[in-house]
């Protein structure tokens, strides 16, 4: 079956939105203080006869997920939380703090949505940079309903007999009300590697946060200088005459920094923020 690409927005330096009922990037999962209340489990293609391997462990301040993909079978490995009430009804998207290996992963969210008697998973892809911690922004609107790893509007796998289709209730039309993810019904969060490529993989997850409706007020971002030093700061204003940006640091103090001091990505981000 040909998989339609499930796109999510990838941002290395992001403008975290605020919301009336959510803090700026409300943290759902954080491993920095050995917070293991949100239990995780692995779910690999061996449940359907595949040969892929995926395991995880909790390290100092993050979850480390690694293994190997074998496309001679299901061709995927994944981890996800146990079901729980996340209380994120006002959220409109998710932020991930993660480090990958250059492969394309999927963010997956489960609710109580089903097609027939089979659960539907909402998924969106995001790219990683090998060995680099990055921030990923994934609006819920970019997550599409999938089943067996494929969009629900694609044909079912060829091995699905008429008997199986009837048994699982898939002969019924997919309920269009389940086309969009309902944040009030989120039950589980997960990460999946399903890029149709063989080979080893490794992925680290430091934090999962959610955000609400965006406001124009800027908040903290990561900024990296030409000598690879990174700070967390708010970009308050930019002077085109001085070619300098004024930052508010985490301690509340402000500092004016020449634009040329930032790396190329940071310079582009400043110009993007203050282009109007």
The CATH number of domain 221-273 is 3.40.190.10: no
Instruction: Specify the 3-state DSSP secondary structure of 22.
Output: coil
Q: What does the DSSP assignment read for 49-100?
A: T---EEEEEE-SSSEEEEEEE-TTTT--EEEEEPP-----TT--EEEEEEEB
**Alpha carbon distances (Å) from 36 to 57, 62, 78:** 11, 11, 18
Confidence bin at 77 (pLDDT 50/70/90) = very high
Rounded to whole angstroms, the Cα distance separating 57 from 66 reads 9
* pTM assigned to the model: 0.70
For 196, list phi and psi in degrees, rounded to 5.
Answer: 60, 30
- pLDDT band, very low/low/confident/very high, at 219 (cuts 50, 70, 90): low
Using pLDDT thresholds of 50, 70 and 90, give the confidence band for residue 112.
Answer: very high
Mean pLDDT over each residue of the chain, to the nearest integer: 84
Nearest to 37 by CA among 82, 87, 90: 82
Quick one: average pLDDT of 58-65? Answer: 90
pLDDT of amino acid 57: 92
pLDDT at 214 over 90: no
35-49, pLDDT tens digit by residue?
565 589 999 998 778
Q: Give the Cα-Cα-Cα angle 98, 103, 108 (nearest 5 degrees).
A: 60
Q: How far is CA 23 from CA 19, 20, 275, in A?
A: 7, 8, 27
pLDDT in tens, 222-271: 999 999 999 888 888 888 888 999 998 888 788 999 999 999 999 998 88
**Pair 47, 24: CB distance under 8 Å:** no
Neighbours of 104 (CB within 10 A): 18
User: By the 8 A CB rule, do 6 and 106 touch?
Assistant: yes
Alpha carbon distances (Å) from 151 to 1, 5, 42: 11, 9, 22
Q: Where are the beta strands (DSSP E) in the chain?
A: 26-30, 40-42, 53-58, 63-69, 77-81, 93-99, 104-115, 118-127, 133-139, 144-147, 150-151, 188-193, 199-211, 221-224, 230-239, 244-249, 254-258
Instruction: Name residues whose C-beta falls within 8 Å of residue 10's C-beta, 6 or more positions apart in sequence.
Output: 126, 127, 134, 136, 137
CB contact at 8 A, 55 and 260: no
What is the predicted pLDDT for the residue at 4? 38
If we measure between CA atoms, which residue out of 196, 34, 188, 202 comes closest to residue 119?
Answer: 188
**Lowest mean pLDDT: which of 14-23, 71-80, 197-206, 240-249?**
14-23
The distance from CA 230 to its chain's CA centroid, rounded to whole angstroms, is: 22
Q: Map out the domains of the chain as residue ranges.
A: 26-211, 221-273
Supply the CATH classification number for the domain 26-211.
2.60.120.430
Q: What is the pLDDT of residues 124-179, one digit of tens each?
A: 999 999 999 988 889 999 999 998 888 987 777 777 788 888 888 888 888 888 89
Q: What is the pLDDT at residue 13?
A: 30
């Amino acid at each position: 079956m040909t998989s339609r690409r499930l796109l999510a927005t990838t941002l290395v330096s992001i403008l975290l939105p605020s919301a009336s009922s959510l803090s700026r990037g409300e943290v759902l999962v954080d491993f920095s203080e050995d917070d293991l209340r949100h239990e995780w489990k692995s779910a690999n293609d061996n449940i359907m006869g595949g040969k892929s391997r995926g395991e995880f462990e909790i390290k100092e301040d993050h979850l480390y997920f690694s293994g190997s993909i074998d496309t001679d079978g299901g061709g995927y490995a994944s981890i996800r939380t146990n079901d729980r009430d996340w209380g994120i009804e006002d959220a409109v998207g998710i932020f991930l703090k993660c480090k990958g290996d250059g492969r394309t992963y999927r963010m997956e969210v489960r609710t109580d949505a089903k097609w027939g008697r089979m659960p539907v998973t909402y998924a969106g892809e995001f790219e990683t940079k090998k060995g680099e911690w990055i921030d990923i922004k994934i609006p819920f609107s970019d997550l599409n309903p999938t089943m067996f790893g494929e969009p629900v509007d694609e044909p079912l796998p060829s091995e699905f007999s008429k008997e199986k289709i009837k048994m699982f209730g898939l002969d019924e039309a997919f309920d269009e009300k389940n086309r969009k993810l309902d944040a009030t019904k989120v039950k589980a969060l997960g990460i999946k590697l399903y890029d149709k490529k063989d080979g080893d993989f490794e992925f680290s997850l430091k934090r999962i946060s959610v955000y609400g409706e965006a406001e124009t007020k800027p908040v903290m971002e990561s900024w990296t200088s030409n000598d690879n030093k990174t700070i967390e700061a708010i970009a308050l204003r930019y002077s085109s005459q001085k070619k300098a940006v004024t930052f508010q640091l985490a301690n509340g103090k402000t500092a004016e920094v020449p634009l040329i001091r930032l790396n190329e990505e940071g310079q582009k981000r400043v110009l993007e923020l203050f282009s109007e």
